[in-house]
Structure 1
Amino acid sequence: MANPSLRPFRVFLFSLGMAVVMYTAAYHSYYSASLSTGRSVSSTALALLADHAAADIDAPSNASTTDTDSNNSNSSNAEVKALRQKVQQLEERVKDLEHKVASTPETLPHPVSRLSTTTTSPQLSTITSTPTNSSKKNVQRFPIKRVYRGKTNATQTSTLAKPGTGTARLAKSLLSKKTNATSTSTATTPPPTTSTTIRKLLPSQLKLPTPIIVMGLQKAGTTSIYSYFTCGMEGKLSHYDCRPPPANKTNGGKAERYGLSCGKAMLWNKRANNKPLFDGIDDWDLYSEIDAPHNNLLSGVILPQVSWIQDIHEAFPNATWILNYRDPEKWLSSIDRWKDLRKRFIHAHYPPFFRKGRGKTDQQMIDFYNEQAARVVNFTQAHPDHHHNLVQVKIDSPDAGQVLEEAFGITQNCWGNKNHNKGDAYWNPN
């Protein structure tokens, strides 16, 4: 009869053996789906091994009750020894199984990637994570494909340890192509760049002859006209100044003192030197502003387009004239807000058109502005060459750029409102 005192020990060994077998079976079932052909371990062998161990443990308890008490001691020792051998064999087989599993890392994908991504169930959605940067050292993030139940339109990021050996390395290897494809598809494509370079025309390529002389008054778009031609024309272009300043006269704002403005140069040629109006300044392709202030306030302002319109015609009979104009009230508002220009108009004396003291009232200024525009138009009508070469442009009109493009051939993209006067009024009639 089996020794009853050994039964608890047998039960313990049986439980231990079954635990080892169950652990091995679970470990095997977890990875067996991904083992390559010829390397998988049969779950049937594990089951037989468990049954064999259980039979070996329970066999002593089923022995015949006819054994004598004298053999109890020897049989007990033999049973214990046999059980220990069986347990040792089980441990060796478990180690062998673990060694087989560990020796095949290339066939073991990461447990997460073993989830099915081909299901058609409406409750499952495939989510591809996006790469992120990690602030931790020795950690590398890369996207893996997951299936989440009940979640759609979401982005998840999985962090795996730095690939070296085992499943992490395999997961990165399997998903490297997917990662590259995702990076390529999500890369931001820069928008096509449109060249803003404008081809400048030579004076000979313009539709109208040069020089081009602006015959309108100041504060009526002279700076905008100069910028327009600077943008689209190659040539010698003048705005206010007609003589390059001497090298030793450029500092300290001394330009006006040395008669570098077009208006002062014409004044000296006409009155002091008795020379042609454009003497020494006749090589410009554009004269965008020919007026200028006198050296002192009481002398007013120099207006060659008012005083010497006949001299301008004689100097360049075939020149192109631009009559720039704007709303008279807006022009007067700009005059009043530009330094002491309104006072200079009051002191200006250009008989019979504009006598000293006439510009004290707004209506007198507006009348003078309109009279000058009419004077230019009437003069060109009396001189056919200028009549055909007169370009009238309302500088505050939306189609001002189009008018200039049709006249000269320079793109209207060069047109823009420059030198916009936003200052407060300096002029106070009281």
Structure 2
Amino acid sequence: MATREPQTLSWRAPAVLTRLVFVSVAAAASLANVAVAATLGAKGGLPPTMGTPIMVVGMPKAGTSTIAAYFQCGNVKSSHYQCVGNEYCGVCIDRNVKAGVPPFANCGDYDVYSQLDIMGNCTTKKPLVKRGMPEGTKSGARRGLEPWDVCYMPQVEALEAIHSQFPNATFILNHRQHVDDWIKSVNHWGDLRERFGDCQISGLPAGKGAPGAAGDEQLKAFVAKHVLDVRRFVRQHPSHQLIEVVIDNPSAGRFMESKFNIRGTCWGHENNNKNSIGRRAWHHRPRSLLPRTA
């Protein structure tokens, strides 16, 4: 008896059906992308377990502009260094703490405060004098602080007061990969280095941190202690969530997306020492959520 090799039956889908299946898969993928985009960066799209407001508690010149632009790109109501009108957040907080009232009373109602400190003249309204940044503000001819300038770092001086008002606030502790890079950025930003040397800060008294090798070591010790102090504070007050971000790490955008549900493409580099702008974050920022400067 003759035997034949078993044959596998084959069936070919009609070309029209193949095209329909391909279109359906492509449409489903497109809808999935739309759903992801709607979830990432939608207003109110922060993780439901995340306490607000979110406050940046690291140092100036460590990505505060980039962080502000990131949240604005994600449609989250955010301030950078101005809280209400032209008033700096640091001035508002300083006044409230001295008056014994909640530190953020009448300081705006933001979901994110990305720069709390003030180091300079907060009275002039001349933009060329202010130069647009509290740590870059120039009030006089000399380098450093003038007697009428304000220097206050709530992230150093007022964590207990902040906790009393916002016991569930989320803290962002922002770093650069290398502290030497941070010092270099401070040195190249106007007279900020001299301001650090003039300012009376807990852990960095006036006269410490001035330009020079000794001042470099004093600044490094100050920053290292501040990082440890913030970590210790959160351990002692576990109602807070602490998120540490290395702002110049290439994966910082993906890391921020994993924590805040805002697209990593919103992460850029604002206000670097060449005054260039992180184009993607700046281009996509929602204008309506920027602090008013009238």
TM-score by length of 1: 0.46
Per-residue deviation at 1:348?
Answer: 1.1
CA distance, structure 1, for counterparts of residue 60 and residue 159 of structure 2: 16
User: 1:263–1:291: 8 Å Cα contact kept in structure 2?
Assistant: yes
CA distance, structure 1, for counterparts of residue 265 and residue 159 of structure 2: 32
Per-residue deviation at 1:316?
Answer: 0.6
Structure 2 partner of 1:262? 89
Q: Aligned runs of 1:3-402 on 2, under 5 Å?
A: 199=38, 200-203=41-44, 205-207=46-48, 208-234=50-76, 236-244=77-85, 255=86, 260-271=87-98, 273-281=99-107, 283-295=109-121, 297-298=145-146, 299=149, 301-326=151-176, 327-351=178-202, 353-360=203-210, 361-386=215-240, 389-402=241-254
User: 1:215–1:305: 8 Å Cα contact kept in structure 2?
Assistant: yes
Cα pair distance change 1:325/1:205, threshold 3 Å? closer
Deviations 1:345-385 (A, max 9, x none): 1111123x221111121111111112111111111111111
User: 1:335–1:342: 8 Å Cα contact kept in structure 2?
Assistant: yes
CA distance, structure 2, for counterparts of residue 375 and residue 414 of structure 1: 30
Please state whether the residue corresponding to 2:244 is helix, strand or coil. strand
CA distance, structure 1, for counterparts of residue 153 and residue 74 of structure 2: 28
Per-residue deviation at 1:204?
Answer: 5.6
Cα pair distance change 1:321/1:417, threshold 3 Å? same
CA distance, structure 1, for counterparts of residue 166 and residue 254 of structure 2: 26
CA distance, structure 2, for counterparts of residue 301 and residue 339 of structure 1: 16
Matched, 1:417 2:243: no
Please state whether the residue corresponding to 2:84 is helix, strand or coil. coil
Q: Aligned residues: percent identity?
A: 38
Deviations 1:251-280 (A, max 9, x none): xxxx4xxxx000001111122x33221111
Deviations 1:298-354 (A, max 9, x none): 456321101111111111110111000012111111111111111111111123x22
Deviations 1:9-68 (A, max 9, x none): xxxxxxxxxxxxxxxxxxxxxxxxxxxxxxxxxxxxxxxxxxxxxxxxxxxxxxxxxxxx
User: 2:152–2:201: 8 Å Cα contact kept in structure 1?
Assistant: no
CA distance, structure 1, for counterparts of residue 218 and residue 263 of structure 2: 37
CA distance, structure 2, for counterparts of residue 315 and residue 282 of structure 1: 14
Question: Structure 1: which amino acid aligns with 2:54?
Answer: I
Question: Structure 2: which amino acid aligns with 1:355?
Answer: P
CA distance, structure 1, for counterparts of residue 155 and residue 200 of structure 2: 14
Please state whether the residue corresponding to 2:220 is helix, strand or coil. helix
Deviations 1:163-206 (A, max 9, x none): xxxxxxxxxxxxxxxxxxxxxxxxxxxxxxx99x9543223643
Structure 1 partner of 2:21? none
Question: Structure 2: which amino acid aligns with 1:398?
Answer: P
Cα pair distance change 1:224/1:198, threshold 3 Å? farther
CA distance, structure 1, for counterparts of residue 107 and residue 60 of structure 2: 20
Question: Structure 1: which amino acid aligns with 2:68?
Answer: Y
User: 2:116–2:153: 8 Å Cα contact kept in structure 1?
Assistant: yes
What residue ranges of structure 1 are gaps of 5+ in the alignment?
1-193, 245-254, 424-430
Question: Structure 1: which amino acid aligns with 2:105?
Answer: D
CA distance, structure 2, for counterparts of residue 405 and residue 205 of structure 1: 10
Question: Structure 2: which amino acid aligns with 1:356?
Answer: A
CA distance, structure 2, for counterparts of residue 206 and residue 282 of structure 1: 22
User: 2:173–2:245: 8 Å Cα contact kept in structure 1?
Assistant: yes
CA distance, structure 1, for counterparts of residue 221 and residue 162 of structure 2: 23
Question: Structure 2: which amino acid aligns with 1:201?
Answer: A
TM-score by length of 2: 0.67
Per-residue deviation at 1:222?
Answer: 0.5
Question: Structure 2: which amino acid aligns with 1:261?
Answer: Y
Please state whether the residue corresponding to 1:385 is helix, strand or coil. coil
User: 1:325–1:394: 8 Å Cα contact kept in structure 2?
Assistant: yes
